[in-house]
């Protein structure tokens, strides 16, 4: 008997969205334009609630058979591939010559044809996590510290629909309310904890052998370098 891979995913929003529409959405999100979801209903409620208004966790099922999925956290990629996708979509602060050189190097050596995939899964770069990525390209933190920082606060993963085919495979199941008083507060606590841990534990703890972006550029490191795995 044929088995189908069906995933249950959630989208946090200020409104109920029964039919996600291909071609809508902000172009400057982490992975470009798409429909951003998560496999965690709790995370969706955090994303859906605002400071002054309640929101919703919209629930969907998606048939993944036949869809191409780019998993940026798989062993086929490293954190620099994820960062390079961000560089092409988010507005990075590149105030120094080093940051500009770092951006050019990463785009030249860790670029992925991510727009050719139906779905992308990977880390979500909210404000605090995005600032960690900026610190790395500005030479303030090491590669090890960047990797460790991505696990702080347990932000979770994104499941992003990119192609028209992916949108055709999604089915609305229902929605649950996300009260601002509970879920916005949870989001703020998560962000506060991530920032606190980052500054207390990671940013001020350089270790012998740490690799910084300058060394990656100078030694022309590529993905197959064991130090980046």
Q: What does the pLDDT profile of the chain (229 residues) look like in tens digits?
A: 344 589 999 999 999 999 999 988 777 788 999 999 999 999 999 999 999 999 999 999 999 999 999 999 899 999 999 999 999 998 777 778 999 999 999 999 999 999 999 999 998 776 666 788 888 999 989 999 888 877 665 556 899 999 999 999 999 999 999 999 999 999 888 888 877 877 776 666 778 899 999 999 999 999 999 999 8
Which pLDDT belongs to residue 48? 95
Contacts of 12 (CB under 8 A, 6+ apart): 38, 43, 44, 45, 46, 47, 48, 49, 55, 56, 57, 58, 178
Q: Is residue 1 part of a domain?
A: no
16 in a structural domain: yes
How far is residue 216's CA from residue 178's CA, in Å, rounded to a whole number? 43
Question: Which one, of 124, 88, 123, lies nearest residue 106 by Cα?
Answer: 88
Q: What pLDDT was estimated at residue 162? A: 96
Cβ contact 180:54 at 8 Å: yes
Report the pLDDT value the prediction gives residue 221, as an integer from 0 to 100: 97
Query: Which residue, chain included where needed, has tokens 């050189």?
Result: 101
Is residue 132 classed as helix, strand or coil in its secondary structure? helix
Determine, yes or no, domain membership for 94.
yes
Per the domain annotation, does 121 fall within a domain? yes
Closest CA to 190 of 46, 12, 45, 83: 46
The number of helices, as runs of H, and strands, as runs of E, in the chain is: 8, 7
**Residue range of the domain that includes 154:** 6-228
Q: Note the pLDDT of residue 98.
A: 93
Q: What pLDDT was estimated at residue 59?
A: 98
Split into its structural domains, the chain has a count of: 1
What is residue 1's predicted lDDT score, i.e. its pLDDT? 34
Is 53 inside a domain boundary? yes
Give exposure, 64-93, as e/b (b: 16+ Cβ within 10 Å): beebebbebeeeebbbbbbbbbbbbbbebe
């Amino acid at each position: 008997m044929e088995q189908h891979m069906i995933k249950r995913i959630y989208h946090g929003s200020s409104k109920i969205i029964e039919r996600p529409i291909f071609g809508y959405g902000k172009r400057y999100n982490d992975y470009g334009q798409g429909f951003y979801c998560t496999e965690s209903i709790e995370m969706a409620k955090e994303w859906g609630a605002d400071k002054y208004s309640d929101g919703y966790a919209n629930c969907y099922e998606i048939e993944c058979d036949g869809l191409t999925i780019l998993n940026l956290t798989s062993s086929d990629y490293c954190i620099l591939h994820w960062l390079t996708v961000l560089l092409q979509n988010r507005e990075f602060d590149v105030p120094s010559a080093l940051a500009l050189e770092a951006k050019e190097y990463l785009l030249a050596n860790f670029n992925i044809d991510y727009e050719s995939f139906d779905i992308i899964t990977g880390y979500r770069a909210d404000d605090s996590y995005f600032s960690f990525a900026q610190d790395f390209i500005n030479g303030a933190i090491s590669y090890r510290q960047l990797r460790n920082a991505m696990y702080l606060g347990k932000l979770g993963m994104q499941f992003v629909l990119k192609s028209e085919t992916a949108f055709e495979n999604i089915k609305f199941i229902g929605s649950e309310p996300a009260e601002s008083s509970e879920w916005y507060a949870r989001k703020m606590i998560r962000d506060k904890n991530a920032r606190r841990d980052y500054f207390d534990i990671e940013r001020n703890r350089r270790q012998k052998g740490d690799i910084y972006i300058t060394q990656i550029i100078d030694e022309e490191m590529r993905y197959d370098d064991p130090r980046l795995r």
